[in-house]
Structure formats: structure tokens, C-alpha cells
Structure 1
Amino acid sequence: MILNVDDSDGARYVKGRILRRAGFWVLEAASGQAALSLVRQHAPDLVLLDVKLPDINGLEVCRLIKSDPETAGTLVLQTSFLYMSPSFAQLWGHPIDDLRHDPRSWLECVQAEDRERMKVAFDAMMIDGHMDAEFQLVRGDGKVREVRARAFPVSNTAGVFYRVAGICQDITQQKRAERMLLKEDRRKDEFLAMLAHELRNPLAPMRSAADLLMSCTPSREDTFKARDVIARQLHHLTRLVDDLLDISRFTQGRIVLHDDLVELRTALNTAVEAVRPLIDSRGHTLRLSVPEGPMPVRGDLVRLTQIFSNLLHNAARYTQPGGQLALEVASDGNVLIVRVRDNGPGLSPQALQAIFDPGTAQHGDKAQAISGQEGMGIGLSLVQKLVKLHGGSVHAESAGPGLGSTFVVELPAQPWQSWQPKVGKRASPMGAPRKVMIVDDNIDALEAMAVTLEAMGHMVVTAIDGPVAIVRAVESQPDVILLDLGMPAMDGFEIARRLRAIPELQHVHLVAVTGYGQPADRKRTAEAGFDRHLVKPVDLEALLRILDELGEAA
């Protein structure tokens, strides 16, 4: 509670209005005697006391309040013609007397780029009676604070302006938070753009392979080719999803590489395979020039594939239909040099400087050449990061607009004598047949897994929801239950809890199947009673190892 003491009706009204807007309970008095009476009756937390009062001087009123034991603890703040709170003086950081002598001198403390705008706002306030503006304030110590000022002019009973009343609020932290949120929002947009860009690459050849398999009479050779394409691109897609959906890794700017000895030819072939549908759809011709012999590099096969699929994708995307593309590899023994050429719209010198910047690349010549096809900047920014992580470099070359572009990637070569090509995986030996229950509301996923396990000699029982799963588990007594967590009505955790409560099912091995694979997710499934945790799409090798372990445990 604040007691506002002032014999001027206008000043008392202005201060009272400001305090009430700020959420305070305000009492008012126009004389010293009235103020003393209200202090004794209501014991306010603060008395705003004008010095000049009609009956008792404000200084005497303050002395009387402090001399009375019942009111001595009351906080008294004396005001004068121009009142400024201590918090305002702290924010201002300049001598308050300067403002007392010349109230308009506040403009000199406004940041130069905001000064003219605030002068216009102040002058407009004198006309329309209100100001609400934000500006940067330069304090006496040189520090810059961001301020929101709300004010209005006050006139006397004759209608003549004689002062300005208002509030200044330090919003520095708030504005910093806003900028941080905007920055994170931009990062989110970049992430989503990159996500869409990266996931479409392996999806395209998978779609083409699926279309081939669904054609009327695919040859045996075409069937095997389509199967291999789907397997390779599915592996690539799984790694991409695992990495791209790790939000904490993305926001911290961390990309983790697998440190392997990789045959560069494999990465190039997979990249070409991923972009081939786009190349063919736009009628381009792709010329390959790759030397004979091994081309080992140290790095991550999936990330290397990302590098070259991005470059090929951009070349095919931004080159006019019927264009000429080339993928060329050369080596000087120590460095492998990969060039991706096109005869597309080319790049100006300004665009070449900014081409790897995700914030400005979209304004480059290529983005202008094909309107509405943004995303090149995101892909090239990722390419640059990945190449650097592999110890290499990347740059763009172009003779100018309309003269095509070349992107050059240089990677450290490994000694070819250290290269030992990986042999194909041997088929896992068939273990003892197991009785497996699959619980999944996705019929396609359920049937595909059932057919696969049955083809390997296992007995399969299926269920599409929790109640059916519980009944069939009791009836069939499976060795292992593959349980999808995202079930409707009764989720996987509840199903597991009920299964664990049935005595005759205590021997059953419960395996959680889910799209969530973070450490916290694995901890949660373990605490819920699951024995193992598999992430979708389920790795068949991992599942077969679990089934083999059942036999070893027995």
C-alpha cells in the first residue's frame, strides 16, 4: 500500500494513476494533517510525500511520522516537481540533476540510430497524448541497455502542459531472450529443410525399386537389382534418421563420424544411385570418370555418400532439363579430388563467395534461376561441414552466369596397400526354431516380420492389440514377444506390465520395438520389465542374435 501525498490535484492524479497501473493499492492525501491521519489508520508500506503542502511542510510531516513509535518504521520518499524513482536512476546511469534542469536532455543518452525515431515519438506524444516505444540507452559507464518507455503529457486545470509522466522499463534480458528464440527458430527451420532434403535422396531410388518390383513381369535379374537397391538405401536412410533426429546433437552443432577405412567408389556409386531418378526425370546425361583400382579414404561411408549425393542433387536440380553433368575423380597419390560439373546457370563472383552460407545461398544465381526450389544453401552448408570433418576441403568454381558450375572436393587419400575390401556378409546360420509372438497394430509391419521369421523356420503368433496379445500369449506360451510400444488403447508398457503379472509367462523374453532409441528411452523400457530394446526399422541381424541368445541361455 502506498500513500500518495500532494496538494496538486494534477500531480497527485498522475502519480496515483501510474502506481495503480503498476498494481499498487494507493491512498491519497492533499495535506499534511490528512497524511498523518492516514498513516496512523492504515500503516502504508510507503509514503510519497511532496515537500510543499498547504498546512504542514513535508519535512515536518516526515519528522512527525518518524518520531511516532507506531509509524517510525514507515518508508517515506519525498518528491519534488520532477520525481524519478531510484530504479530509474539506476537504469539511467547518468546524473539525475541533468534531467531536472533539462528534461529533454534524455535524448542525448539514446543510442544514435534510435535518437531521431525517439524524438519523433516524443513530439508525437505531445499531440496524440501517448508514447510507447523501445530504444537503446547508453549509460554513463558506456553500457547499452534496451528500454521500453511509456509516457503521457500532463496539463494543469487551465489545460496548459507542464510535465510528462511515465515509466521506463529495462527490457534488456527480454530482448536477448527474444533474439535467442528467433535464432533457435531459424535453426529449427534450417534443420527441417535439411531433414526434408536429406531424406528425399534415399527415398527416390527406393520408390523406383518398389515400382520395378510391382511391375507385371520383372526379370530375375531386375528383382535382385531392386532388392539390393532397397537394402542399400534403407541402410543409408536408417543412419540418416538416427543422426538427423538427434536434436541435442543438432542444436549443439555436433556431428559424429564413424572412423572407418572406406572405399570412395562405394560412396560415389550409392550417391549416383540415390540421385539417378532425378537425373533421369530431368533428361540429363551423367558422365562418370573414375580411375581403376582402390580409392580408400578414412571416414564415414554414410556421410561421404551425403556429400556427393547433395552435390549431384543440386547439379541435377538447378541445371535446365537436358543438361550435361559429370562426376570426375582424380588422384595425385596423397589427395583424392572429386569434381561434380554441370552446364547449368552458373554462379556470379558474389554468389561464389556466399554459396556455402545457409543464410545467403538462397539468393544466389541458381536459386534465382529456378524459383521456388530453396534448400541448396542448407545442403551445401552441410557438405562443407562434413568435408571438413573428413580432413578435406570443398570449393565452387564458375566462369560466370550461364557458364555452368563445378564443385571440387579434396579428401586425404589412404595408402592403397592398407585397403582390404570387405567381403559380403555370410548368411547367419539358422538357429533352433523359436516360438515368436509379434504384437503390432501396423498390419504391414506385422505381416512383413512374420513372413521373414517364418521363412527362417520360426513359429510365429501375431496380435494387433493388447487384449488379444495377452490371451494368445497365455495360449501359445511363446519364447519371445516382439512388442510395439505405440499401440492404441493399451500401449506396450501396459501390455508388458500385465504380461509380467501372469505366472505362466515369467519365462517369456520381452523385446520392446519402438522408433525411440535415446538412452532415456532404453532406460524406461528396462524399468518397465523389457529384456531388450530394438529401434525401428528392426535390424534382422540384431533380432536373430537375440533368438540365438535364448538358446544359449537355455
Structure 2
Amino acid sequence: MIVRIAQYSGKRRLLLGIASIAAVLLAQQALTMFAHGRLTFLLIGASLPLVTLLFGALSGALLLGCGVAFGSLWMEPIGKLPVNGREDQIVLFAFLVVGGLLVAAGHQLAKVAKRAGMAEAAAHDAAARLLRVERDARHRFDVALNSAGVPFCILTPVVRDGKVAELRWDYLNAAAAQLFSQPAAVVIGSSTSYLRPAGWDADVLFDRLAPLASGGGRDAFDVRVEGDNGERWFHVVAASLEGSIVAWFGDITPRVQAEQALSNADRRKDEFLATLAHELRNPLAPIRQVAEILEQAGVTDERRRWCINVLRRQSAAMALLLDDLLDVSRITRGALTLRKGAVALRDVVDDAVEIARPTLEGKGHELVLDLPARPVHIDVDRLRLAQVLANLLTNAAKYTPPGGHIGLSARADEPEIVLSITDNGIGIEPDTLSAIFSMFSQVNRDHHRQGGLGIGLALSKSLIELHGGQITASSAGKDKGSCFAIHLPTHCKVLPSPIVIRETPAASLTTRKHRILVVDDNVDAADALTALLELEGHEVRTVYSGEEAVDILSHYSPEVILLDLGLPGMSGIDVARQIRKTPSTKDVTVIAITGWGQPQDRARTAQAGFDFHFTKPVDVVLLNEAIGSAFAAA
């Protein structure tokens, strides 16, 4: 209390001193009433040092003065200030001297008390500042760790018999608290063997973190967790800190999933390349063998016709493989566009059945169609939708044992148009059902036996999505068949356009024979095309470079020029431009025969003056129609 009062202001202390002086004088008056004389200064003298100490030297001096006056009034003559008795004068003087000394002593003690009070106040302020700094630091610590969004914790080891017996949670930030099914207040102070994040292995935590508590250092490791939300991965970085362990738990699940996806994609890519090599070798083998047969002497006409059929079938199979690859590439780059138009649903189904018929008949399957009784017309790309349906029918045929049952049904009711292909084949395992539409994925892992690149379903899915629909698959399990369904939005259903009836030509457009120039740097391809055209009765000349083509036009006047684009030196584009600049050849029909079939390639040939654009391998029937139609139009 003395130290606290010493910190009061001078005015406040003086007021308190006057109040205390009044109380002392009243008490002294009461004492003197009963025992006056030598006891006149007893209470005042005893109070002098305390009043001076508490309320300052001014209050002490005032009490001293009041005491002298009070004593004078009670000495002879009583009631008057002058003191006549010698002994009373000595007592009064002695009181004055001793009282002065007491006031001086009290003043010194007051200074000491004031300094002590200042020191105490300074210590209190320092303690308050330290507490505030610590509180602010802890707040910043919490804010920083909580805002990081990465689980962070501090664990304290419990040592028994000189060994770490267990680890206890000492601190959790907000992100770490979310890993527990219990509130953070419950977790803190508990052992890792009793409370830990859901799905975490207590032994893994203890085995990896306990050595840090005793030996110090740093450790980093990955933890796989099986929780309610599936598999998760955490990267744990832990270090020793003054006998405790600090640890960060970074959720690396997206990174691990991305790595697994890349690994799976790389594996599927390798499988795809192996399958592609296999599928390309399949048609190449009979083509090569047929070529060797045709080289033999004495080949009969029947054997030659058989060889021709084999070449056509196998080259068509290779062309389909390449078409699928190109379609996937176009869709991936967003370069494939649909050519929509009103078409009868039955016509699309007929196109698909016709494409898949060889496979269906080859395995002796029964195909049952269930189509709407009334005509239904839809606004779609007829070629692409038929391609998808044919792919699904072919897949059903491949994965159904011989003599199986395959059904194709169509429903055009609200709210969508549904085309379903069902079979009683080998079915699809539940764990692979969700992945069959992925690129390079196959229903049957034994793809070398079934054939195919594993891109058909992925391509079909993309084509249907371009139409604004979706494709789904379902199966009851192994050997229980499967069902693939194409869902098209109801707005695809349209009214048919009026049919324009045209007269059929009385005779074939290709009955007239023409002078033709073939230009291709691939000698085999050029000679083979020349031989085919000669069999049609045309007069054909052949050259193998752009420069030769320009030179021969100076003395040979063809009616049609079949021109390859990728010629060495002078390209086919340059040759076509030269032809169009020359008056004698500017009206010649120029047809591109090339391996380049992208839309931009067709645009280049059109700008260069080509009349038609065919991609290799060219269909001879279509080529003859193009040749004949050019002259029919003239």
C-alpha cells in the first residue's frame, strides 16, 4: 500500500494527508481528555513518520505544527498557546526537535517508497509488455499456420525408462484439426496411439517420428491413407525442436493421382503401339504373301481373282485403321466438324448393319432389329452416327461367342432418342466398366485375339458428344452380356426435307476412254495405278517427278492428270499451278492422288486449281466416276 500511495499525485497525497491529520488530531483530543499532560504528543508523535511516509513531507510538517500548537494548548496555562513552565517548554522543544527528525526520516522513506513504486510499476509494465508480446506472437503464429492451409502439429515425446514410450499431440493448426474426427481440444494432450487422423497407422507415425525426439534431425516420407473419401496421400516433413517434434502433413493426393494417371497413360500408350504394330502386320502379311503368289508362273484366273479379293479386303482394313487414328487426332485437336442433315433413322441403322454384316455373318450371330414403326428422321451426321453404330455392332460381334444373339433397338420418345445394342457375350467386369471409354482401353485384355486398337469406344464417345449426346455402357457381369446405349437429345428429331427426284443416267459415266497422265514418285504406286487404268481401256502415260510432268506436257496432251502432291523437287501444287498458267493445258482435269487428306490440304489443292482430291489408297470406282463426271459436265 505504501508503494502504491507513493505513486499518487502531490495534490492527491496532500488531500489525503490533511484528512489523516484531522483524524489523528481527533484521536489525540479523545486521548487527552482522559490522560492529559505528558501524553499530549503521544499519538501525534507516533503518527508523524507514517503520515510523512504516506503523504509526503508537507503533510508531516503540517502535522508537526499542529502537534506543537495542540501541545501548547494543553500545557500550563491550559487553553493558551504561550507555555510558561520551564519543563513544559523543554518538552515542547524536544517534541519539535524529535518530530522534525521523524518528519525528515519519513520524507526519506517516502523517496525510497516512491522509487520502489516506480520500479514495481516498471516491472509490472515490462511484464505486461512481455505478456502482450507473447500473446501477439502466439496470435501471429496461429494466424500464419492456420492461413497456410497445410496441416501442422507439434508432438511431445513421453519418456519412460530412458526411452520414448509414446507421442502426445501438443499443438494442431486448423488444417490439422480437420483431419481428426474429434475437436482439437480433445486431441491436444492425448497419445497418438489413441487419437490420430482417420485411416492413419499409429505404428508408422511412432516409428518415423520417435527417433527424431531422441536423436534429433529431420525426416520426410509419404503416407498412404485409406479414409471414408477413398485413398489419400500425404507427404510428411518432420524435424526435432527442443525435445519436441514439429511436422507438416502436405496432401499430395492430386499429384500422386496425376502420376498414376500418367503412368497408366504411358502403359496404355505402350499397349496401343504394340497393338498397332500387330494390327498393321495382320493385313500386311497376306498382302505380302499374295504378292509372292502373283509372282509365280502359271497362276490361274481363279487364284488371281482370289488374290485380288484378299488385297482389297486387307487394304480396306488398313485404311479403316488409319481413318480411326486420323479421326481421333482431329477430335483431340478440335478439328473434326460434323456434316449434319436430316436423315431417316432406319437409313442410318441400315448403313451400320451393312458395315458390320461381314463380322456378324462370319461368327454366325443372330441380329434382331427393333425400330419404331413410324418413320423417324433425325438431324445428325449420317456417316459418323453410322460409324458409331457399326463400331458398337462389331464390338458386340467380337466379344460374343459364335452363334450369339445381338439386338439393336431404337426409341424416339421424350425426352431423348436412344439407340441400344445388346448382346449375350462375355460381358464386362464391374471394375473395368468405367474405363472402357478411355483411349487405348479394351473390353478384353486379350486384344491380340480379338483385334482392334482400343480406340473405337473412345472415338465413338467423342463423336456422340459432338452431337450433344452421350454413350453409356452396362453389364450384369462376366459372361452375362452387355448393353451400349446412345442417347441423343430430343431436338435431334426433325421433319424430313422434300425429296428431289433426279433422272438416272442411261449409261455409265466411265464408258468413254481418255488420255491420262499419272505423276507419282512412288514407282510401285504409279505403275499399279497405271495398270488398273489401262485395264479400264484408258491411254495412260506415267512419269515420276514434277519436272518430268511439265516436260511431257510439251508434246503429250492428256485429258486427265492424276497428280501426287508430295513430289521431290517440284511439288504437285507447283505442277498444278504451272498447268493452269499454260494456255494449252489450263482446261485439263487435274485430280490430286495423295496421302494428305486434312481439310487444309483440300483447301490448298482447291486454290492450286485441282478439280478433285482423293486420298490414298484411292477407290478406283470413285476415281472412274470423277473422271467420267468431268467429261459428262463438259
Bigger radius of gyration? 2
Higher helix share: 2
